[in-house]
Amino acid sequence: MASPPRRPRTLSDAKTEAEAAFKSITAKKAEPVPQKTAVPGVKELVSLRIDQDVLERFQEDGPGWQDRINAALRKAAGLTD
């Protein structure tokens, strides 16, 4: 059985094939996002909205209220004994 006749190639066919070949070679693959590792003792500046009464409760004992909030959060997160 004879194969059907091929249609003549056009300029747009060649262009489309060339573009597809170029894209497959030059396309950048997404690199995985590196996981951040926590460095002990390093604090990060964040903005956090908490209720006014909670803030006042931690500030009652004076300076160090941010450390007390951090300790409470670590305890709630199960990061301390």
How confident is the model at residue 63, as a pLDDT?
95
pLDDT of residue 9: 63
Domain ranges of the chain: 44-81
- Residue 66, classed as helix, strand or coil, is helix
- Encoding tokens for residue 71? 């300790």
Write out the chain's pLDDT in tens, 81 residues. 567 777 666 667 778 888 888 877 776 777 887 877 777 778 888 999 999 999 999 999 999 999 999 999 999 999 876
Please report the pLDDT score of residue 6 as a whole number. 72
Cβ neighbours of residue 31 closer than 8 Å, sequence gap 6 or more:
none
pTM of structure = 0.50
